[in-house]
Amino acid sequence: MTVTFPQKGLPWLLLLPQLLVTAIFFLWPAEQALEQAFYQEDAFGLSREFVGLENFVYLFTDPLYYQSMLTTLVFSFSVAIMGMSVALFLAVMADRVIRGKLTYQTLLIWPYAVAPALAGVLWWILFDPSMGPIALWLGSAGVDWNHYLDGNQAMILVVIASTWKQISYNFLFFLAGLQAVPRSLIEAASIDGASPVKRFWTIVFPLLSPTTFFLLVVNLVYAFFETFGVIDATTKGGPGQSTNTLVYKVFEDGFIGLDLGGSAAQSVVLMAIVGVLTVIQFRFIERKVQYS
């Protein structure tokens, strides 16, 4: 069905607010970053020199940059997979609860309102090697917790802190998805003698696939772009380079190191990566998704 407008101008007028927002907050900065990536400039903007591809050459000859890419992949997929599986589990459980349903759901949605930096500080305190309750408990269980020294533990910490916030969001979508699954299908299956586990994997889960796919995209983008607050508040990319993700590196080099050219080059690379990632997801994964 096609909607036709009597005048040519009206649709554009209605689109204008969204287009303006996109232009001001996305296209303009993106263009600035693209331009900046070819210059080297002092922090105060007093002098500027065109350096061609030098910023990119510097990036791609730096072995640590590749390491940071690897770190980002490990981090992002851990956050997405962990966040989605925990949220799915909680949603299935919450969907079954009959008494006090609203209370459970509200409590589970709460963490989403917490700012990333605050979430970071919270987990940082809980896991502090010398006074954090979780670290002390782990210590008594025989695990020597020190994320200041152990890169893997630091990674676990930032993954937990980043995931925790995202679980609420995923939970909401899964819960809505579950409620949209027709009761009749499940009832029919149980009459046929299918166990609850079987019913979940053969009926509910496939029907949730549009939600799951959407959440996978959203979670990966979240882990890629919005987690530097958490990392800054907990590990600052350390120990060594073990939690230095691409977006944290952009933030660090640009806002702390004031290396605008280098930082801009990195954000251009990030833009490209996310573009490619999204295309791949829609091209190859979406085909397997059942929308109806």
Q: How far apart are CA 269 and CA 59, in angstroms?
A: 10
Shortest separation between residue 160's beta carbon and other proteins, angstroms: 18
**Contact pattern for other proteins over residues 139 through 168, marking x by CB under 8 A:** ---------xxxx-----------------
- 182's CB contacts (< 8 A; 6+ apart) are none
Q: How far apart are CA 29 and CA 76, in angstroms?
A: 24
Determine, following the binding rule CB under 8 A, whether residue 237 of this chain makes contact with other proteins.
yes
Restricting to residues 64-103, name those near other proteins by CB under 8 A.
Answer: 64
Question: Whose Cβ is closer to other proteins: residue 177's or residue 261's?
Answer: 261
Question: Whose Cβ is closer to other proteins: residue 90's or residue 155's?
Answer: 155
- Segment holding 39, helix H or strand E: strand 39-41
Residue in 111, 129, 139, 210 binding other proteins, rule: CB under 8 A: 129
Shortest separation between residue 178's beta carbon and other proteins, angstroms: 43
Q: Does residue 239 have a cis bond before it (omega within 30 degrees)? A: yes
Determine, following the binding rule CB under 8 A, whether residue 41 of this chain makes contact with other proteins.
yes
What is the token pair recorded at 109? 């949605």
The single-letter code of the amino acid at 83 is: G
Question: Which one of 169-177, 182-190, 256-264, 277-285 is the stretch in contact with other proteins (CB under 8 A)?
Answer: 256-264
Residue 26 is classified by DSSP as I
Q: How far apart are CA 230 and CA 156, in angstroms?
A: 13
- 266's CB contacts (< 8 A; 6+ apart) are 59, 246, 249, 250, 253
Q: In 3D, which of 229, 225, 234, 248 has the Cα closest to residue 65? A: 248
Q: How far apart are CA 257 and CA 250, in angstroms?
A: 10
Question: Whose Cβ is closer to other proteins: residue 125's or residue 221's?
Answer: 125
Determine, following the binding rule CB under 8 A, whether residue 133 of this chain makes contact with other proteins.
no
Question: Whose Cβ is closer to other proteins: residue 48's or residue 101's?
Answer: 48
Shortest separation between residue 220's beta carbon and other proteins, angstroms: 26
Q: How far apart are CA 229 and CA 162, in angstroms?
A: 9
Determine, following the binding rule CB under 8 A, whether residue 120 of this chain makes contact with other proteins.
no
What is the token pair recorded at 152? 């893997």
Determine, following the binding rule CB under 8 A, whether residue 236 of this chain makes contact with other proteins.
yes
Determine, following the binding rule CB under 8 A, whether residue 130 of this chain makes contact with other proteins.
yes
Residue in 239, 277, 281, 286 binding other proteins, rule: CB under 8 A: 239
Determine, following the binding rule CB under 8 A, whether residue 32 of this chain makes contact with other proteins.
no
Q: How far is CA 238 from CA 71, 73, 189, 252, in A?
A: 11, 16, 51, 12
Residue in 44, 50, 284, 291 binding other proteins, rule: CB under 8 A: 44
Question: Whose Cβ is closer to other proteins: residue 61's or residue 184's?
Answer: 61
Residues engaged in binding other proteins (CB under 8 A): 40-47, 49, 58, 64, 128-131, 148-151, 236-241, 252-253, 255-259, 261-262
